Amino acid sequence: MRKALHLSFLLSPVPALIVSLCIGTYPIPPSAVVSMVLLKGAQLVSEVLKTLTLGKISFSVTIPYPSVYQTILFEIRLPRVLMAMLVGSVLAISGAVLQAIFRNPLVNSYILGISSGAAFGAALAIGLSVGVGVTPSAFAFALLAVFITTSLARVGGRITPVSLVLAGIIVNAFFSALTSLLKFLMEHDKLASIVYWLMGSFANSDWGSVRVAFPVILVGCFLIYSMRWQLNVLSFGEEAKIVGVETEKLKFVFIVVVSMITAVSIAFCGIIGWVGLMIPHIVRMAFGPDHKTLIPLTITLGASFMVLADTLARSVATYEIPIGIITTLLGIPFFAYLLRKTGGGWDA
Residues sharing a CB contact under 8 Å with residue 181, sequence separation 6 or more, in sequence order: none
167, 117 contact by CB (below 8 A): no
Q: Is 249 helix (H, G, I), strand (E, B) or coil?
A: helix
Predicted pLDDT of residue 59:
67
Q: Minimum mean pLDDT among 177-181, 197-201, 241-245, 298-302: which range? A: 241-245
Span 301-313, average pLDDT: 95
- Range list of H helices, 288-322: 291-315
DSSP string computed for 150-206: HHHHEETTEE-HHHHHHHHHHHHHHHHHHHHHHHHHS-HHHHHHHHHHHT---TT--
Amino acid making up residue 209: S
Q: Cα angle at 17 between 83 and 310, to 5 degrees?
A: 55
For residue 319, the SS3 value is coil
Q: What is the DSSP letter of 73?
A: I
Angle in degrees, CA 72, 78, 79, rounded to 5: 110
Strands 158-159 vs 154-155: parallel, antiparallel or unpaired: antiparallel
pLDDT tens column, 325-346: 999 888 888 777 767 776 655 4
Give residues with Cβ within 8 angstroms of 24, minimum separation 6: 72, 77, 314, 315
Q: What is the pLDDT of residue 244?
A: 62
- What Rg do the C-alpha atoms of the chain give, in angstroms? 21
Q: Which residue from 62, 60, 20 is spatially nearest to 39, judged by alpha carbons?
A: 62
Q: pLDDT tens digits, residue range 216-242?
A: 999 999 999 999 988 888 877 666 666
pLDDT value for 241: 66
Local structure of residue 270 (DSSP, 8 states): -
Question: Nearest 5°: phi and psi at 251?
Answer: -60, -40
At a CB cut-off of 8 Å and minimum separation 6, what does 187 contact?
A: none
pLDDT tens per residue across span 78-119: 999 999 999 999 999 999 998 888 887 777 877 778 888 988
Identify the pLDDT of residue 148: 92
Distance (Å, whole) CA 316 – CA 218: 31
Q: Which of 193, 200, 192 is nearest to 314 (CA)?
A: 200
Chain segment 132-168, per-residue pLDDT in tens: 777 788 888 888 988 898 889 888 777 776 787 788 8
Phi, psi of 227 (to 5 degrees): -105, 15
